[in-house]
Amino acid sequence: MKNYAKPGEVMYHVGLSVEMLQGAKYALVPGDPGRVEGLAKAVDKKAVFLASHREFTSWLAHVAGEPVLVISSGMGGPCITFIVEELGRLGVTTFIRVGTTGSLQEDLNLGDVVISKAAVRMDGASKAYAPVEYPAVADLDVTVALRDAAKELKVPFGLGITVTTDSFWPGQERYDSFKGYVVRRLQGTLQEWQALGCTNFEMEAATLLTLCSVHGLRAGAICGVVAKRTDSEAVAPVKVYQTAEKRFQKVAKRALEKLRMVMEGG
């Protein structure tokens, strides 16, 4: 039996209530609180601020007449658990992670977007919800909507398996950390994930996909490439960030429009 919020009840971490969401079933979830306002206004110029509590900044937008919550998760899998647990209680049924990523394949360039059809569970948080054998798989309708939106908008994209880690440095086999050391069990993993055809590194998708599957919710993920790990460990300059951001904003909006039509049977 699902534990939905009571009328007027404010969720402890995200600082939101059912009434504040106005019936929103969809949530766009960037990691960075600083990315929320821009994303909300990109999908709806009349979007309004809702709350800012801890790392969770939220705005309410409307897409094709449908209320859509735009809320930051903060970085990493543990923060995603708060989003899914509390927004699920508030009636949100569909989550789309929107963020940035490092590509692992030569044909994924800076500024492209990557759509996750599944994720490797190198995080820790999802293991509190399901054994490691349980797959982190994106919802089919959400994934198809994102893919078709990117095609329609002529946004360069890749569709593949994301590697989600808890660590930006050793977890993604980066050597530009303070000490410059990667533990032995993680040395060589970059090449291994590339050989296995994985598309990108990031820090939230696997947790989101696993939790939503466990809870009977829908989830997908789209990220803009701001580091090309086949070339270097460096993060791209601001101009690349801006290109990637504009692209995933447009694709997310169009995907929401398509999902609404699917839900209405149109």
Q: CA nearest 27: which of 90, 85, 71, 77?
A: 71
Looking at 141-206, which runs of residues are DSSP E strands?
157-165, 200-202
User: What is the structure's pLDDT at 106?
Assistant: 98
Q: CA nearest 103: which of 206, 239, 194, 196?
A: 194
CA 7 – CA 129 distance, rounded (Å): 27
Q: How far is CA 157 from CA 28, 40, 135, 151, 175, in A?
A: 19, 22, 23, 8, 28
Counting residues of the chain whose pLDDT is more than 90, the rounded percentage is: 97
Kindly tell me the burial class for residue 9, based on how many C-beta atoms sit within 10 Å of its own C-beta (0-12, 13-18, 19 or more).
middle
The pair of structure tokens assigned to 64 is: 């094709």
User: What is the structure's pLDDT at 265?
Assistant: 65
For residue 148, the one-letter residue type is D
Residues 70, 44: contact at Cβ < 8 Å?
A: no
Average pLDDT over the chain reads 97
Q: What is the pLDDT of residues 107-165, one digit of tens each?
A: 999 999 999 999 999 999 999 999 999 999 999 999 999 999 999 999 999 999 999 99
Fold (CATH) for 18-263:
Rossmann fold (3.40.50)
User: What is the structure's pLDDT at 202?
Assistant: 98
User: What is the structure's pLDDT at 16?
Assistant: 98
User: What is the structure's pLDDT at 145?
Assistant: 98
Query: Catalytic amino acids?
Result: 13, 86, 174, 229
Per-residue pLDDT of the chain (266 residues; tens, 9 = 90+): 899 999 999 999 999 999 999 999 999 999 999 999 999 999 999 999 999 999 999 999 999 999 999 999 999 999 999 999 999 999 999 999 999 999 999 999 999 999 999 999 999 999 999 999 999 999 999 999 999 999 999 999 999 999 999 999 999 999 999 999 999 999 999 999 999 999 999 999 999 999 999 999 999 999 999 999 999 999 999 999 999 999 999 999 999 999 988 776 65
Total residue length of the chain: 266
| Domain range summary for the chain, segments of one domain joined by + | 18-263
